[in-house]
Amino acid sequence: MHHFHYVNGRLHCEDVSLDAIADAVGTPVYVYSSATLRRHARVIAAAFEGMDCLIAYSVKANGNLGVLKTLAAEGCGADVVSGGELKRARAAGIPASQIVFSGVGKTRDEMRLALSESIHQFNVESEAELEVLAEVASKMGATASVAVRVNPDVAAGGHPNISTGKAGDKFGVPWEDADALYDKIARLEGVEAVGVDVHIGSQIDEIAPMRAAFERVMTLVRGLREKGHAISRVDLGGGLGIPYRETDDPPPPADYANMIREVTEGMGLQVILEPGRVIAGNAGVLVTEALYRKPAPKREFLIVDAGMNDLMRPALYQAHHDFLPLKERAADAPRMRYDVVGPICESTDKFAAERELPVMEPGDRLAMMSAGAYGAALSSQYNARPLAAEVLVDGDQFAVVRRRPSFEEMVALETFPDWLT
Ligand code: LLP
């Protein structure tokens, strides 16, 4: 569910017309709905009502400070994967006690930062990382609360590039090695095992693989407890899918939560979740303006002012995003098949192939829907294009929460070497 809809023939985000935003801020522009972010955070919190549960929003999906602050006000914690994300979460007011630190390549500096902030938990992904964390923490006289990310050897996720839980993926430690690693934690100074962590993939559209992975985790927790490890938490990662098309039918958060309730029943565990897409995905759109039409066999190219640098998902994962014209069209308005493409000098700079849309003229605007997660977050300045602006809407008000950089700002970190000046 989201808050993008037509009012008097114009596409709105909550009570603000997207045309008004595009007129004021220019295109391409990301627009986020506070009401949608809040609604998603609340639906998830409600689904887990009564359980000891930490909803650690996965900052990588959309780390804009305005988005994070909106979610902080809803009581969300954060799942971070870098020192930068940790600082973002803290800057938005998320308490360190609600932050978990995931990722396969934490540096010593990042560990020191997280230890000095006394974050809730480190999700450790290898023996080598564990040894470094123990060393860093001991030197600081600190103890890191650790969960080992295990690889349950379960495949899931909307695309091979976003599946992470199969044997052979770079994530987590092999299932069979987990026991030995927990024994090692018990022997090491500076680290304390508090939990088990798992994350099997993203855009998962069925409950069964998640249940299979989580049941394996519970088996591991029981075994570890029998061996005397005081496991009090499980981190079950993120991954719940969202509808990108009207026909998509991902499991509702309530079904997901009920499955987790069943699997963890009676275990006395804090359950940590790392939802990203399900909170931010349908809370954002990318607004773009049509520049040109260009004939091609059996279709036309519709060249828009957003490029793959602004929204990478179609190029990277052949991902589908629905497009809605900002100006509503009658059901019987003429339609046309378009390859919707951007201005970037790459053939992969294509948002859709042979997509049927109402006829678009230069100057007409489109909203690329469901772009709130892994949209702006994955964007770049390729082709020396400034990052798209980001706007947050709340009711009838909107604010630019990241402005488009000027050319001078884009090159501000570059200098000519002496020999060229
Ligand atoms: N926790 C961990 C350890 C993760 O690796 C991820 C996502 C999440 C949580 C959040 O997953 P979510 O709830 O958002 O599915 N760029 C890709 C998605 C990459 C996901 C990376 N990890 C895309 O645009 O589809």
pLDDT tens across 367-397, in order?
999 999 999 999 999 999 999 999 999 999 9
CA distance 120 to 197: 13
CA distance 211 to 156: 11
Per-residue model confidence (pLDDT) at position 306: 98
Instruction: Say if residue 47's pLDDT is above 90.
Output: yes
- Mean pLDDT for 44-65 is 98
The pTM assigned to this predicted structure is 0.97
Per-residue model confidence (pLDDT) at position 162: 65
Per-residue model confidence (pLDDT) at position 170: 80
CA distance 182 to 96: 24
Index of the ligand 1 atom closest to the CA of residue 197: 3
Strands, E assignment, 198-254: 233-235
Q: Mind telling me the catalytic residues? A: 345
Question: What is the bridge-based pairing of β-strands 323-325 and 270-273?
Answer: unpaired
Cβ < 6 A, ligand 1 pocket: 58, 61, 79, 102, 162, 199, 202-203, 237-240, 274-278, 313, 317, 373-374, 378
Per-residue model confidence (pLDDT) at position 158: 63
Please state the domain extents for the chain: 4-31+281-410, 34-280
User: By mean pLDDT, which of 96-100, 118-122, 160-164, 177-181 is the weakest?
Assistant: 160-164
Q: What is the best residue among 37, 54, 58 to mutate for testing ligand 1's pocket, by most ligand atoms within 8 Å of CB?
A: 58
Determine the distance separating the centroid of ligand 1 and the alpha carbon of 280, expressed in angstroms.
11
CA distance 125 to 151: 9
- Mean pLDDT for 164-168 is 68
Index of the ligand 1 atom closest to the CA of residue 280: 14
Instruction: Say if residue 171's pLDDT is above 90.
Output: no
pLDDT tens across 293-323, in order?
999 888 899 999 999 999 999 999 999 999 9
Instruction: Read off the pLDDT band of 164 (50, 70, 90).
Output: low
The CA-atom distances, in angstroms, between 162 and each of 158, 201, 203, 258, 331 are 7, 6, 8, 25, 36
| DSSP string computed for 141-179 | T--EEEEEEEE-----SSSGGGB--STTSSSSEEGGGHH
Do 4-31+281-410 and 34-280 have matching folds?
no
Per-residue model confidence (pLDDT) at position 298: 86
pLDDT tens across 226-251, in order?
999 999 999 999 999 999 999 999 99
Per-residue model confidence (pLDDT) at position 412: 97
The H-or-E segment that residue 399 falls in is strand 397-402
Instruction: Read off the pLDDT band of 169 (50, 70, 90).
Output: confident
Instruction: Say if residue 404's pLDDT is above 70.
Output: yes
- In words, the CATH class of domain 34-280 is alpha beta
pLDDT tens across 323-363, in order?
999 999 999 999 999 999 999 999 999 999 999 999 999 99
Fold that domain 4-31+281-410 belongs to in CATH: Lyase, Ornithine Decarboxylase; Chain A, domain 1 (2.40.37)
Per-residue model confidence (pLDDT) at position 166: 67
Beta carbons of 144 and 198 less than 8 angstroms apart? no
Instruction: Say if residue 215's pLDDT is above 70.
Output: yes
Beta carbons of 172 and 125 less than 8 angstroms apart? yes
CA distance 171 to 94: 26
CA distance 342 to 340: 7
pLDDT tens across 137-154, in order?
999 999 999 999 999 888
Determine the distance separating the centroid of ligand 1 and the alpha carbon of 295, expressed in angstroms.
38
pLDDT tens across 184-197, in order?
999 999 999 999 99
